[in-house]
Amino acid sequence: MIVFLVLLVVLVLLFIGAYNRLVTARNAFKNAFAQIDVQLTRRYDLIPNLVEIAKGYMKHERETLENVIRARNSAVEGLKVAASNPADAAAVQKLSGADAQLGGALGRLFALSEAYPDLKANQNMMQLSEELTSTENKVSFARQAYNDAVMTYNNAREVFPSSIVAGMFGFQPAQPLDISKPEAREAPKVSFG
Amino acid sequence: MDFYSRQAEARKQTRWLVIGFILALAAVALALDAVLFSLLESAEAHAPLIAPLDYASRHTRAAFTVTLIVLAVIGLASLFKSLQLRSGGGVVARSLGGVRVERDTSDLKLKRLHNVVEEMAIASGVPVPEIYVLEQETAINAFAAGHTPANAAVTVTQGALDRLNREQLQGVIAHEFSHVVNGDMRLNVQLMGWLFGLLVVALIGRTILRFAPRGRKNGGAILIAALAFVVLGYVGLLAGRILQAAVSRQRERLADASAVQFTRNPGGLKEALLKIAGLAEGSRLVQADAEQVAHMLFAPGLSRIFATHPPLEERIRVLDPSFNPRTLPRLAAEALEEDIGLNLNDPQQASAAVPGLVSVAGLSIAADPVAVAAQVGRLDTVHIEQAQALRLALPESLRRSAGSPDRARALVLTLLLSGDEPVRNRQLTRLANSLAPADLAAIQQCAPLCAQLPPMLRLPALLQIFPALRRLPPQDRQALCALADDLIQADNRIDVFEFCLAKLLATLLQDELEARAPHGRLSATDVSAELQVLFVTLAQAGASDRQQARLAYEAGIGSALPQRAPPFESLEDWPQRLGDALPRLEKLAPLAKKAVIEGLVATVANDGMLSTAEAELLRTVCAILHCPLPPLLPALI
């Protein structure tokens, strides 16, 4: 009788533990997704400042600067649509396309800025490009953390015995972010020494 | 092996080692039991017997109690130590001299550090910890401290900040985050607690050995028991230390593997390790009490047998399987060459940064009409509100120009150059005799810029570069002090600025070498003569005639010496007298110092004007008395 009771208590404890682990893992990957949003927004906010400073020095590169602004605006639009409904795969796809275009435009801007030593030495420009690099990194780290969190969650969901708990309470499998275009992940190379 | 399996391997090894640690503790407890039971048995049988099991089988209850007491002693001692070590990471970082890095810092390097930490916080999914910098450490190292991710602090040395590029810094920070995420700090505190428990066993034995009653009945038995405590305690401690170091090495392997997980870039971490290998000072910290954090450091801070870190070569090989240890010296040298690309010790950068300082400072003076009005009367006097504006204008631009000790030294010497042509030439000759050509060139470069520095900003500028000066090796510091004295003596007279500079150099650069107590126990009446000298000097510095000086003196001296204030008397040889007085004033009790400084402020503020000499003297006195500037003043000076 006592053996049976002890066994029951152990089983209940294991059950609670498995359930809590699953919930923690699920919250972790949801939070990781929110981070991506935050960092993308921050990136788009930084770009107008960058263009404003570059304008003063790069008088002959008007077209490049306008391209950056245009790409930035369409990425902001894309983010708005995707954030309102993260489950919409097409919207997310569009956002990642716009973001990739922005990355390309920025890359050209930075390549051209090599020819303007004054611009490169500008304190504000140095601060801004550090901020941009950091934000790019944060976006990719947030994606990576999201995928890591998804993996941890899916592992917890699928291994025995917690898979029983997951089945009982309907824990759905999570999808890792698929980066279809490699350049979407590529941060523009910023080098200011 | 990929990083996931390396992590799993390190975790498994840790588990076995911790089990080993617990077994070692149990073995010590059992051995103590065996000795105690044997003694009790022989006392009962009145003959020396080694039969602990016989005793335990006959007196189950007593045996149980004895075991419980032994375990309780070890357990309580470790609990005590763990609680003691449980302070937040910030406390540890500050105790090692760490300076906090704020989010809105304007220094590019610190900003980069802050960004990298934020990135790693995102990658590892923990809150952003507090960040500290050890400004005096030129080696490359870092550590994480704190009991939980929520109160963790990440600290890096100035050397890591200066010498690592962004990717390398990221690798190092990612490594530290692994310690935070994997709970290594908690594990380490636990292990140190257990070690302390064993130490207490040994200490109890030693205490009994010293004070045990000799010659009485059972005296021999007590001595044997005490000896057993000592021996078993120390043997356990030794085994524990070795196991603890082994655990630490596993956690380092785990952290290296996790750093790759967080950054997905083994290159940065590898290059950082190569740089450490190539650097003469490597990762060694100057601060001796780094032992407390030895287990959390990025790379070993202390060289010793009980290594807390795996060898560098092994760590590099894990990150890059194609790495050949024989090429290490060459690769390390290459890694260091990159420093040149990072603008380290680049004289051009120095000259580029200093104009920024001057233009900012110059602007704030020209832009303020009040300042112009004030300058009509006395060239070096400003209104108090304007001093506030000056202070705001200064620090940011200076921090940039004061990155390297060599540049800071050039700046100090340049500030001492006289405006008077013959004197200046004499000073330059002396400099040429005792300095390397490169240093002399740096001084020539700074000279025109320093000449433009408004007098009011000279001392604040100096104080900004003191942290950099402190990074000079001790013999260079002494040489600098001697050289500065030499320059000051060149015109055979001492002005207020020169006096202050010499005193500050001597005090701030040398007091950590001497490690004196910052305060003494003297009361104000013990040093009334010295206080008189101090207040008279300050009053004279701010006043244009004797009458005004007397009023300023009386406004302040009453606060320091309310009962018997000595009367005002003019002083001509104040540099000598004040120089003699300051060491005695330093020995005042803290509360008396507070009253003195309040009095000094009253003297300075008596005429509503702040002259450069007043500001400089006040700042210097505060620094020498080891008192912060009073709350009213930081805004002013």
**Residue range A117-122: average pLDDT?**
78
Whether B329 maps to a domain, the answer reads no
Mutate to test the interface with A, among B7, B117, B119, B173 (most CBs of A within 10 A): B119
Q: To the nearest whole angstrom, how far is the Cα of A90 from the nearest Cα of chain B?
A: 26
**Over the stretch A143-188, which tens digit does the pLDDT of each residue have?**
888 888 888 888 888 888 888 888 888 888 877 766 544 444 444 4
**Over the stretch B52-91, which tens digit does the pLDDT of each residue have?**
777 777 788 888 888 888 889 888 988 888 887 777 788 8
Report the DSSP beta bridge partners of residue B99: B133
**Residue range B38-45: average pLDDT?**
78
Is A39 in Cβ contact with B112 (below 8 Å)?
A: no
Q: To the nearest whole angstrom, how far is the Cα of B244 from the nearest Cα of chain A?
A: 30
Closest CA to B262 of B177, B319, B156, B167: B177
B434 and B503 housed in the same domain: yes
Asked if B461 contacts B398 with a C-beta cutoff of 8 angstroms, the reply is yes
Asked if B226 contacts B209 with a C-beta cutoff of 8 angstroms, the reply is yes
Mutate to test the interface with B, among A134, A135, A189 (most CBs of B within 10 A): A134
The reported pLDDT for the residue numbered B113 is 93
Mutate to test the interface with A, among B122, B168, B342, B343 (most CBs of A within 10 A): B122
Report the DSSP beta bridge partners of residue B143: B155, B297
Provide the H-helix boundaries in B453-527: 455-469, 474-489, 496-514
B481 and B610 housed in the same domain: no
Confidence of residue A192 (pLDDT cuts 50, 70, 90): very low
**Over the stretch B302-340, which tens digit does the pLDDT of each residue have?**
444 467 778 778 888 888 887 777 777 777 777 666 654
The reported pLDDT for the residue numbered A86 is 60
Closest CA to B262 of B425, B118, B88: B118
**Residue range B214-236: average pLDDT?**
80
**Cβ-count burial B250-283 (b if 16+ within 10 Å, e if not):** bbbbbbbbbbbbbbeebebbbbbbbbbbbbeebb
User: Is the domain A2-185 a CATH 1.10.10.10 member?
Assistant: no
Is B116 in Cβ contact with A134 (below 8 Å)?
A: yes
The reported pLDDT for the residue numbered B6 is 80
State how far the alpha carbon of B616 is from the alpha carbons of A141, B361, B499, B541, B622, in Å: 50, 17, 9, 10, 10
Residue B132 DSSP class? E
> What proportion of chain B, given as a percentage, has pLDDT over 90?
4
d(CA A61, CA A67): 10
**Cβ-count burial A44-58 (b if 16+ within 10 Å, e if not):** bebbeebbebbeebb
Whether B128 maps to a domain, the answer reads no
**Over the stretch B618-636, which tens digit does the pLDDT of each residue have?**
878 877 777 655 433 434 4
Confidence of residue B383 (pLDDT cuts 50, 70, 90): very low
d(CA B38, CA B44): 10
B531 and B585 housed in the same domain: yes
Mutate to test the interface with B, among A43, A137, A139, A150 (most CBs of B within 10 A): A137
Residue showing tokens 């420009």: A125
CA atoms within 13 A on the CB side of B562: 4
Residues of B in contact with A28 (CB under 8 A): 125
Phi and psi at residue B304, to the nearest 5°: -165, 170
CB atoms within 10 A of CB B48: 13
Is B111 in Cβ contact with A130 (below 8 Å)?
A: yes
The reported pLDDT for the residue numbered B375 is 30
Confidence of residue B565 (pLDDT cuts 50, 70, 90): confident
Phi and psi at residue B131, to the nearest 5°: -120, 135
B443 and B356 housed in the same domain: yes
Which residue in chain B has the smallest CA separation from A34? Answer: B122
The reported pLDDT for the residue numbered B114 is 92
Is A130 in Cβ contact with B264 (below 8 Å)?
A: no
d(CA B357, CA B355): 5
In this complex, is the C-beta atom of A35 within 8 Å of any C-beta atom belonging to chain B?
yes
Is A138 in Cβ contact with B119 (below 8 Å)?
A: yes
Whether B133 maps to a domain, the answer reads no
Is B118 in Cβ contact with A138 (below 8 Å)?
A: yes
Residue that terminates a domain, selected from B486, B514, B542: B514
Which residue in chain A has the smallest CA separation from B165? Answer: A193
B507 and B547 housed in the same domain: no
In this complex, is the C-beta atom of A148 within 8 Å of any C-beta atom belonging to chain B?
yes
Nearest-5° angle of CA B519, CA B520, CA B525? 120
B364 and B423 housed in the same domain: yes
Residue that terminates a domain, selected from B202, B237, B252: B252
Q: To the nearest whole angstrom, how far is the Cα of B558 from the nearest Cα of chain A?
A: 50
Which residue in chain B has the smallest CA separation from A149? Answer: B125
B435 and B535 housed in the same domain: no
Which residue in chain A has the smallest CA separation from B356? Answer: A123
**DSSP secondary structure string, B169-198?**
HHHHHHHHHHHHHTTHHHHHHHHHHHHHHH
In this complex, is the C-beta atom of A96 within 8 Å of any C-beta atom belonging to chain B?
no
**Residue range B563-584: average pLDDT?**
82
Selecting from B108, B264, B356 the residue whose C-beta is nearest the C-beta of A130 gives B108
Is A141 in Cβ contact with B262 (below 8 Å)?
A: yes
Which residue in chain B has the smallest CA separation from A146? Answer: B123
The reported pLDDT for the residue numbered B174 is 93
In this complex, is the C-beta atom of B119 within 8 Å of any C-beta atom belonging to chain A?
yes
In this complex, is the C-beta atom of A73 within 8 Å of any C-beta atom belonging to chain B?
no
Asked if A70 contacts A84 with a C-beta cutoff of 8 angstroms, the reply is no
The reported pLDDT for the residue numbered A102 is 87
B61 and B196 housed in the same domain: yes
d(CA B198, CA B209): 17
Amino acid sitting at position B482? A
B498 and B531 housed in the same domain: no
Asked if B614 contacts B601 with a C-beta cutoff of 8 angstroms, the reply is no
d(CA B318, CA B194): 32
Asked if B41 contacts B79 with a C-beta cutoff of 8 angstroms, the reply is no
State how far the alpha carbon of B626 is from the alpha carbons of A119, B272, B585, in Å: 44, 39, 11
Is B122 in Cβ contact with A138 (below 8 Å)?
A: yes
Q: To the nearest whole angstrom, how far is the Cα of B484 from the nearest Cα of chain A?
A: 34
Asked if A92 contacts A177 with a C-beta cutoff of 8 angstroms, the reply is no
Task: Let me know if B427 is exposed, middle or buried by CB neighbors in 10 A (0-12, 13-18, 19+).
Answer: buried
Is B261 in Cβ contact with A141 (below 8 Å)?
A: no
pLDDT: which is higher, B282 or A126:
A126
Size of interface A-B (CB pairs under 8 A): 48
Confidence of residue A81 (pLDDT cuts 50, 70, 90): confident
The reported pLDDT for the residue numbered B371 is 32
**Over the stretch B183-218, which tens digit does the pLDDT of each residue have?**
888 888 888 888 888 888 888 888 888 886 666 666
Is A137 in Cβ contact with B342 (below 8 Å)?
A: no
In this complex, is the C-beta atom of B125 within 8 Å of any C-beta atom belonging to chain A?
yes
Which residue in chain B has the smallest CA separation from A35? Answer: B122
Residues of B in contact with A138 (CB under 8 A): 118-119, 122
**DSSP secondary structure string, B404-443?**
SHHHHHHHHHHHT--SSHHHHHHHHHHHHHHS-HHHHHHH
Whether B353 maps to a domain, the answer reads yes
d(CA B450, CA B410): 11
Confidence of residue B401 (pLDDT cuts 50, 70, 90): low
Q: Which two tokens stand for residue B390?
A: 């000056």
Is B343 in Cβ contact with A141 (below 8 Å)?
A: no
Q: What was the ipTM of the complex prediction?
A: 0.71
How are the residues of chain B apportioned to helix, strand and coil, as percentages rounded to the nearest 5? 70, 5, 25
For residue B195, give its domain range.
3-86+186-252
| Mean of pLDDT over chain B | 75
Selecting from A123, A131, A149 the residue whose C-beta is nearest the C-beta of B125 gives A149
B424 and B364 housed in the same domain: yes
What positions of B carry a catalytic annotation?
A: 176
The structure's pTM equals: 0.57
**Over the stretch B491-527, which tens digit does the pLDDT of each residue have?**
777 888 888 888 878 776 765 555 456 667 777 778 8
d(CA B581, CA B137): 34
Q: To the nearest whole angstrom, how far is the Cα of A123 from the nearest Cα of chain B?
A: 9
The reported pLDDT for the residue numbered B37 is 84
The reported pLDDT for the residue numbered B352 is 31
Q: To the nearest whole angstrom, how far is the Cα of B121 from the nearest Cα of chain A?
A: 9
Selecting from B115, B170, B343 the residue whose C-beta is nearest the C-beta of A130 gives B115
Residue that terminates a domain, selected from B252, B274, B306: B252
Is residue B250 scored above 60 in pLDDT?
yes
Is A193 in Cβ contact with B341 (below 8 Å)?
A: yes
pLDDT: which is higher, B611 or B77:
B77
Q: Is the peptide bond before A161 cis (omega within 30 degrees of 0)?
A: yes
Residue showing tokens 């401690």: B237
The C-alpha torsion from B241 through B243 and B247 to B252, rounded to 10°, is 60
B426 and B502 housed in the same domain: yes
Is residue A75 scored above 90 in pLDDT?
no
Q: Given its phi and psi angles, is residue B183 left (phi above 0), alpha (psi -120 to 50 degrees) or beta?
A: left
| Mean of pLDDT over chain A | 80
Confidence of residue B116 (pLDDT cuts 50, 70, 90): very high
Lowest mean pLDDT among A5-19, A179-193, B342-356, B578-592: B342-356
Residue showing tokens 């894309």: A78
Is B119 in Cβ contact with A137 (below 8 Å)?
A: yes
Selecting from B106, B115, B123 the residue whose C-beta is nearest the C-beta of A134 gives B115
Task: List all residues 6 or more positions away from B432 whose beta carbon is below 8 Å from its beta carbon.
Answer: B440
Asked if B472 contacts B405 with a C-beta cutoff of 8 angstroms, the reply is yes
Nearest-5° angle of CA B56, CA B62, CA B68? 100
In this complex, is the C-beta atom of A144 within 8 Å of any C-beta atom belonging to chain B?
yes
**Over the stretch B444-494, which tens digit does the pLDDT of each residue have?**
777 766 666 667 667 766 766 666 777 777 778 788 888 888 888 887 778
The reported pLDDT for the residue numbered B169 is 93
In this complex, is the C-beta atom of A137 within 8 Å of any C-beta atom belonging to chain B?
yes
Asked if B190 contacts B235 with a C-beta cutoff of 8 angstroms, the reply is no
Task: Let me know if B83 is exposed, middle or buried by CB neighbors in 10 A (0-12, 13-18, 19+).
Answer: exposed
Domain count across chain B: 3
Asked if B159 contacts B141 with a C-beta cutoff of 8 angstroms, the reply is yes
B373 and B470 housed in the same domain: yes
Phi and psi at residue A161, to the nearest 5°: -95, -5
Is residue B377 scored above 70 in pLDDT?
no
In this complex, is the C-beta atom of A152 within 8 Å of any C-beta atom belonging to chain B?
no
In this complex, is the C-beta atom of B626 within 8 Å of any C-beta atom belonging to chain A?
no
Residues of B in contact with A134 (CB under 8 A): 112, 115-116, 118-119
In this complex, is the C-beta atom of A124 within 8 Å of any C-beta atom belonging to chain B?
no
Closest CA to B248 of B195, B187, B317: B187
Provide the H-helix boundaries in B517-545: 528-542
- Which of 333-372 (B) contact A at CB < 8 A? 341-343, 352, 356
Is B261 in Cβ contact with A134 (below 8 Å)?
A: no
Closest CA to B40 of B17, B13, B67, B80: B67
The reported pLDDT for the residue numbered B482 is 83
Confidence of residue B387 (pLDDT cuts 50, 70, 90): very low
Task: List all residues 6 or more positions away from A106 whose beta carbon is below 8 Å from its beta carbon.
Answer: A47, A68, A132, A188
Q: Which two tokens stand for residue B179?
A: 């310690």
Q: Which two tokens stand for residue B597?
A: 């400084």
In this complex, is the C-beta atom of A193 within 8 Å of any C-beta atom belonging to chain B?
yes
Lowest mean pLDDT among A187-191, B77-81, B577-581: A187-191
- List the domain boundaries for chain A: 2-185
pLDDT: which is higher, B176 or B338:
B176
Is residue B362 scored above 50 in pLDDT?
no
Which residue in chain B has the smallest CA separation from A190? Answer: B166
